[in-house]
Structure 1
Amino acid sequence: MSRAVEDLLRRLAPRVLGTLVRRHGQFDACEDAVQEALLAASVQWPAEGVPREPAGWLVTVAGRRLTDQWRSEAARRRRELAVSTEPAPEEDVAKHVDDTLRLLFLCCHPELSPPSQVALTLRAVGGLTTAEIANAFLVPESTMAQRISRSKQKIKGHGFPEGPERLPAVLHVLYLIFNEGYNATSGPDLQRVELTEEAIRLTREVHALMPADGEVAGLLALMLLTDARRATRTSPDGALVPLAEQDRTRWDRARIAEGVALVSRTLAESAPGPYQLQAAIAAIHDEAPSTEATDWRQILVLYTILDRMSPNPMVTLNRAIATAMVQGPRAGLDLLASLDKDRRVAGHYRLDAVRAHLLDLAGEHEQAREHYRKAAKRTFSLPEREYLLRKTSG
């Protein structure tokens, strides 16, 4: 099968699944039918050519598989009377181009925990196999299979959600997927490129369906501007390279240009939200020729607004760094002290790591080494641990 056909099938799969789930419910059965249709397409299309309406072809084949299955299994329940035996796929798919988004909303059902939302989204919308998802989150395949299966059972019969109220959950799940890929919480690698790329691809899909939504555009811009630095975040041997030491000439200028254009347009057209503000901060970093030349005052203003709009200890950590760059390390350390009793971040390695960095800037090197050691003990990421341990001997 050619790469072009493979990419086409991957793009169409969530849309076709969304159409079937909307029409018939039965998430598991629809997913199995779509997999059979994709398999049939992977055999027929390379030999016979891609049909004029590939999405309609897949819906037709999957719908017939579903109907055949229900006819054979549920004759006694008369299930087939509720199923259309002659679907109009081209018309149906064209009329409901937002089924991918609806499927995303379904995977982010509030009955599911955030980890389950992420796993189900990657499986149903991202097209990753259970083994790939399990590998990404460092759990056995059987464990991930059970998690996904339980998630499907929880949302069985709920149908598609209505209204935009679940969009924040969808964006949050995409944000979590991207962050796990960009800065893996555990394991031997700092980054998991397959997750960052999948998060960007899915966010592009949402943006294409909702181009006027400022926060969708903001999240896509944030991902592009952040991922633009990917190639310089590790050395050839996999060691972590901090932002201040990265070779900015190797940053992806195409992604930076796209991200800057997105965030500039959305900030001009809509009231700023948290993702737009984070994207604006990322744009300032990406456009600066060096750490010293970065507009830290503007970054501090944006983090202050963000901390008021969406209070979060990780935002406060970043605001402390910006404060230190503008007002001096002691002011940054004073702000960090406000987090010491915050249960959400107390004991988190990043609190110790940021405190160590600011103590270093303040010239208190022995105290800094103590906190670098604490941070190294608390992280599960091998590259981060090795970096923090190197700082203890600096």
Structure 2
Amino acid sequence: MGSEQDIVAETVRVEGSRILATLIRTVGDVQLAEDAVQEATLAALGAWPVTGVPPQPRAWLTVTARRKAIDIIRRERARPDKEQDGLRMIELARSDLPPDDVVHDDLLRLIFTCCHPALSPPTRVALALRTLCGLSPAQIAGVLLTTEVATTKRLTRARQKIAAAHIPYRVPAADELAGRLPAVCGVIHSLYTAGHAPVDGDDAYDVDACAEAIRLAELLHGLLPDQTMPAAVLALLLLTEARRPARLDDHGDVVTLDQQDRTQWDVTASDRGIELLNESLRRSRGQADAYQIQAAIAAEHARAASYESTDWTEILRLYDLLVSIAPSDAAGLGRVVAATEAADPATGLALLAELPPSPRWHAVRAELLAREGRYAEAAGALAEALDGPSTQPERQHRERRRETFLQLAGPPSGES
């Protein structure tokens, strides 16, 4: 039974957002669609261990979710809008499945719906993380630094507002795009970040989430080929993804950037990323946004033949610019590393002191302290880092580094 349940979980994890997006287009109601997909998932958990896994799990879940939506509409027939319910039930009763290009377009519609200007920025992110990434309210609360109760209320209010305001489930007209494009790009970037650098879990990254984000970025760039921001987001994702094959060794252990085998990097992805970045910069006429700057940093790494030959002075300049226009903890930590390489560990430590502590903050501090030969302090900093959440590969890497620093520090003074 365990294997069938695992297949249900994996199918929902990989295909759930597509199934949900298509169902939302059909019924025009986010909550109803979510309830139907959840009921279809429960049905699969009950049926598949008995009947076996169907040849096309996504198709099975999609059809079942449609039937569950019909059941929900029938249960709620007391509502006055019976004509609309009838139209939705006719559409749901269709036996054919939408082709892949329609499914992808449904996902893009869902992103634009989540990013409607009537919703507050945190609500847009929460709704997108729930519907696109399938994150639980508890997980979203961790991302937004709030409580699970507050997140659940925010999601409920968002769904109610979409329904009450009759927010259309569609890609907006050209004159509406400008107001939503930054948020849409932010959602796609957040989806990639959630896969590329998860906060915790057993895996160092989520390949499917990263691939989905890149696919959505491709769709957005194809929809708006003359806009600079979608091109920059796609460039950033491709340049970052190009390095993924070298991030783990054959045993699944973390390989830091300075130790990575650059022959494993995806040159095709890097080249296309640089081409998209250059195109985006030409169109923006020197007025770079945060995605262009981040892509430019990634491009500097892609161009360098080795870690030692990297132009850290240029990367530091780019991080200084990034922090000035879009400050964040991640940008600040990147600036610390660049300053250390361009100058010295003391400069990096001084900049680090200006940032709020976090597990990664402590991990960076440990490496800088070790650079100065302060191994006992470095081991202590990694102990702080290990107190917080991290992925299993990251935790193992930090534990190994801590053991190394303890050995280099030797016994405490006064002990033989």
Query: Is TM > 0.5 for Structure 1 vs Structure 2?
Result: yes
- Secondary structure of 2:307's match? coil
Amino acid at match of 2:373: H
2:31 corresponds to which of 28, 34, 48: 28
The verdict on how the C-alpha distance between 1:12 and 1:354 changes in structure 2, with shifts beyond 3 A counting, is closer
Query: For residues 38-49 of structure 1, what are the structure 2 equivalents within 5 Å?
Result: none
Letter of the structure 2 residue corresponding to residue 27 of structure 1:
V
Question: What is the correspondence of 1:281-292 to structure 2 with a 5 Å cutoff?
Answer: 281-292=297-308
CA distance in 2 between counterparts of 1:184 and 1:72 reads 39
Residue aligning to 2:111:
104
Shift of 1:107: 3.0
- Structural mapping, 1:1-394, within 5 Å: 13=19, 16-17=22-23, 19-20=25-26, 24=28, 26-30=29-33, 70=73, 73-74=76-77, 77-82=79-84, 85=87, 100-108=107-115, 120-121=127-128, 124-125=131-132, 151-152=155-156, 154-158=158-162, 159-160=166-167, 163-164=176-177, 165-270=179-284, 271-337=287-353, 339=354, 345-361=355-371, 364-366=372-374, 368-378=375-385, 379-381=388-390, 382-393=395-406, 394=408
Secondary structure of the residue aligned to 1:311 is coil
CA apart distance, 1:307: 1.6
Give 3-state SS (helix, strand or coil) of 2:221's partner.
helix
Instruction: Work out the CA distance in 1 between the residues paired with 2:73 and 2:153.
Output: 20
Deviation at 1:282, TM superposition (A): 0.4
Match of 1:342 in 2: none
Letter in 2 for 1:325: E
Stretches of 4+ aligned residues off by more than 4 angstroms: 9-15, 30-37, 64-73, 108-114, 116-120, 133-138, 146-150
- Where structure 1 has 5 or more consecutive residues not aligned to the other structure, the ranges are 1-5, 40-45, 48-57, 340-344
Return the TM-score normalized by structure 2: 0.67
Contact 1:373 1:392 in 2 (8 A): no
Report the CA distance between 1:278 and its aligned residue.
Answer: 0.3
TM-score by length of 1: 0.70
Residue identity (%) = 35
Q: SS in structure 2 opposite 1:365?
A: coil
Residues 130 and 140 of structure 2 are in contact (CA less than 8 Å); yes or no, is this contact kept in structure 1?
Answer: no
- Cα distance in 1 for partners of 2:227, 2:74 equals 43
**Cα distance, 1:211 vs structure 2:** 2.5
Change (3 A) 1:268 1:387: farther
Equivalent position amino acid for 1:303 in 2: Y
Relative distance call for 1:190 and 1:117 in structure 2 (3 A) is farther
Task: Answer yes or no: is the 8 Å Cα contact 2:369–2:377 preserved in 1.
Answer: no
Shift of 1:221: 1.5
Residue 117 of structure 1 deviates from its aligned partner by: 5.6
> Which runs of 5 or more residues in structure 2 are unaligned?
1-10, 44-53, 56-61, 409-416
CA RMSD of aligned residues (A): 4.6
State the shift of 1:18 in Å.
5.1
String of CA shifts for 1:186-215, please: whole Å, max 9, x gaps: 233322223222222232232232323322
CA distance in 1, matches of 2:215, 2:383: 33
Q: 1:376 to 1:108 in 2, by over 3 A?
A: farther
Distance 1:99 1:199, change over 3 A: closer
